[in-house]
Structure 1
């Protein structure tokens, strides 16, 4: 993992959020996410190569010593309108290293250029094509953060609904699973979240849905089927407005008798594992996730 001198969460938040003017356009949001992500190192000895999963571009992230069987399929954050495989290749690679699998980070289409359900359909196509590539005997872990965490749940639900073999395990970081934006966390946490607000998510929702109902389960998997769901690990910060989404996801999954583990990290912010170059807790979360995934899929 990173050898950077880690920052306290308050110091990190001040440097990267509190003292910085918020982006004033989608283009600036995209530029900032790209800049931070591209500066985040892959695991030592790991590299990336472009690949197509059907019609969906992705990056394969691996190293010579990685097990040949199984993979992590990762969906990046960005509110369905920003982000890329490139800016999340580092996080996807570190998760893969932690659980002993190569990773594939998906470049799903973004809003507003491509509205609902483009991202969900791309994510599902990538899963189906990776399943064809690997075969039914190899484990696939779905992982993602924020909007990508929502896509983890959407793809798992679609696999069952459309008659495909499901993933072996799921890892959702700060998942956005309800576009109703009615969680108590929006009021309870509010200004304590330096990255997101209900207003921000509302604007992102409109870009993606383009008038489509928020209650569609491919947009808000909170309305989907959780029966016979794969084992699920959720990491979320206590200082983010999507805490309520994570808690509700855990509740719905457990209510159907499935295996679920919810970790609420004290004082951590939205998608904090992505900030592994600067936060010790991010590295700890990735390592613990790797251990959980290894145990769950029998690695």
Structure 2
């Protein structure tokens, strides 16, 4: 059994010694990649992203195609994919918004997450390929996400819909019900977020201690991406930074489960969001995995990830797999 706990108010001290052996090995391997070493400062985002060729989405794996039906549509002119398991389908419908600090397309690990979700829950999964920054902003994304939800509600009851996402997509999952309410649509049944990015300003004073042990992410480039996503609006607006939402909005958050590791710069703001939402009366639980890196459930074979997916299946009312 791996070490985890439903964190109470306050912060958690990160350590490179925490987590299962497999988690520690994975963190070490991630740390060998040039990713974090090359992402300090903002030069990399300013050099790479403005004026770029728009990135492609990772191809759907052959295995997923063999075990699911794949439906591709255009909603508000944006490519939208729904996968449904051929066997063991349930009434559950997940809308999964991928991460990538709002500037990167859906990648291969996102398909690994989606495949595991369908295997564990039997849910159909709709994947909105929202337009990215710096070419687009949150003002473009949310009307599209409202249209996606409206389309899902043609065949699913609101209580059977779960909004899910990782990192930036986790922030989108948490913020979407506020946009749905403004559009006169009912609230979805629940939210699940992996390592959600909940305040793009990067101003939380607790961030540096997580940054010191995070093998993957750094802060400055993410803040620049968040400013592009805000498109000139206040980056603390709730649809961009849900942790900054006022109490009356936080009180309306549907039942929410957050899965977070301590070796992740997003831990600081996830804690703030959880504490503020609970204080406002919302049902928000954050399960913390000591030593977990950013969006570690993208690697489903980790012992900690197996626990996460079992917990999600229970949250969606699906019996545990043998």
- TM-score, structure 1 normalization: 0.83
CA distance in 1, matches of 2:107, 2:152: 16
Alpha-carbon shift at residue 276 of structure 1 (Å) = 2.1
Larger RCO, structure (CA 8 Å, separation 6 or more): 2
Q: Is 1:19 matched up with 2:32?
A: yes
C-alpha contact 2:98 2:110 (8 A) present in aligned 1: yes
Instruction: Quote the residue 1:144 is aligned against.
Output: 165
Question: 1:55 aligned to 2:77?
Answer: yes
Aligned residues of 1:70 and 1:140 also touching (Cα < 8 A)? yes
Find the residue that maps to 1:128 and give its secondary structure: helix
Q: Which structure has the greater CA radius of gyration?
A: 2
Do structure 1's residue 99 and structure 2's residue 121 form an aligned pair?
yes
- C-alpha change, 1:14 and 1:85, in structure 2 (3 Å) is closer
RMSD: 3.1
What do the CA deviations read for 1:212-244 (whole angstroms, capped 9, x no partner)? Answer: 211222211223312232110000101111111
- 1:236 alignment counterpart: 260
- Taking structure 1 as reference, are residues 137 and 198 closer, same or farther at Cα in structure 2, changes over 3 Å only? closer
Q: For residues 208 and 78 of structure 1, what CA distance do their matches in structure 2 show?
A: 12
The aligned counterpart of 1:257 is: 281
Contact 2:201 2:235 in 1 (8 A): yes
Tell me the alpha carbon deviations over residues 115-174 of structure 1, each in whole angstroms, 9 at most, x when there is no partner.
33223333232222212x225466110000010000011101222233210100100111
User: What residue is the counterpart of 2:191 in the other structure?
Assistant: 170
1:120 is aligned to 2:142: yes
Q: Which moved more, 1:180-189 or 1:147-156?
A: 180-189
Tell whether the 8 Å contact from 1:72 to 1:142 is kept in structure 2 after alignment: yes
2:221 corresponds to which residue?
200
Deviates more, 1:42-51 or 1:170-179: 42-51
Give the SS at the match of 1:267: strand
Moved more, 156-165 or 262-271: 156-165
Counterpart residue number, 1:45:
67
Structure 1 residues without counterparts, runs of 5 or longer: 1-5
Kindly indicate whether the alpha-carbon contact (under 8 Å) linking 2:256 and 2:285 is maintained by their aligned counterparts in 1: yes
Query: Secondary structure, in 3 states, of the residue corresponding to 1:233?
Result: strand
Report how far residue 195 of structure 1 moved: 1.5
Distance 1:137 1:34, change over 3 A: closer
Structure 1 pair 115/258, CA: closer, same or farther in 2 (3 Å)?
closer
Matched residues in 1 for 2:151 and 2:23: separation?
39
- Aligned partner of residue 192 in structure 2, secondary structure: strand
Q: Distance in 1 between matches of 2:98 and 2:235?
A: 21
Q: Give distance in 2, aligned partners of 1:33 and 1:272.
A: 23
The counterpart of 1:217, out of the listed 238, 254, 267, is 238
Name the structure with the higher helix share: 1
- State TM-score, norm by structure 2: 0.78
2-side partners of 1:124 and 1:49: how far apart? 19
Please name the residue that 1:10 is paired with. Answer: 24
